[in-house]
Structure 1
Amino acid sequence: MTPETVIDIMRQALWLIVLLSAIIIGPGLVVGLIVSTFQAATQINEQTLSFLPRLLVTLLSIIVFGPWMLHQLMEHTERLITNIPYLIG
C-alpha cells in the first residue's frame, strides 16, 4: 500500500465526515441564527427559546436525512472492505 493510497482513503473518509456532520449541524445553525436575530430584535433573553428550536430541527434533520447518511456510511465501508485484497497485495 502506497502513501498515496492511504492519503486518498483518509481524504475520502474525512470528506464523508464533513458532509455528514454538516447535514446535521447546518439546519441547527440556521435556526439558531434566526432565533438569535429574533431575540436581539425583541430583547428577550430566554435561554430555552434558542435551545428548543435548534434541538427540534437537529432531530428532524437526523430523521429526514438519517437513511441517506446510513447509506453513505455503508457504501464507504463496503468499498473499503471490497478493496482490501487490492490494497494489501
Structure 2
Amino acid sequence: MNSAAILKIATQALLLMAQLAAPMVLTALAIGFAVSLIQSITQIQEVTLSFVPKAIGVSIALIVCGNWMIEQLVTFTQYLFQQIPTLLGG
C-alpha cells in the first residue's frame, strides 16, 4: 500500500464528508442569519430563540437529503471494498 493511494482515499473521504455535511450546515447558516436579522431589526436579544428554527430546518434538510446521503455513503463504501485487493498488492 503506497502513500499516494492513502492520500487519494483520504481526499475522497474528506470531500464526501464536506458534501454530506453541506445541506445541514448551509440550512443552519441560512436560518441563523435570518433569525439574527429579525432579532437585530426587532431588538430582541434572546440567544436561545434561533435554536428551534435551526433544529426544524436541519431536520427537514436531513429528511430531504437523507436518501442521497445514504446513496453516497454506500457508493463510497463499495468503492473502498473494491479497492482492498489493489491496495494490498493483489
TM class, shorter-length: over 0.9
- Establish whether residue 43 from structure 1 lines up as the match of residue 52 from structure 2: no
Aligned-partner Cα distance in 2 for 1:17–1:58: 16
Counterpart of 1:45 in 2: which secondary structure?
Answer: coil
Q: How many residues align?
A: 89
Whole-angstrom CA distance in 2 between matches of 1:20 and 1:75: 13
Measure how far apart 1:48 and its partner are. Answer: 3.7
* Structure 2, unpaired ranges of 5+: none
Question: In terms of mean alpha carbon deviation, does 45-54 or 74-83 score higher?
Answer: 45-54
Which residue of structure 2 aligns with residue 10 of structure 1?
10
TM-score (norm 2): 0.93
Q: Percent identity?
A: 39
Structure 1: gaps spanning 5 or more residues: none
Q: Distance in 2 between matches of 1:11 and 1:77?
A: 14
The Cα of 1:59 is off from its aligned counterpart by 0.4
SS at match of 2:31: helix
- Provide the alpha-carbon RMSD of the alignment: 1.0
**Matches of 2:34 and 2:24 in 1, distance apart?**
17
Q: Runs in 1 of length 4+ with deviation above 3 angstroms?
A: none
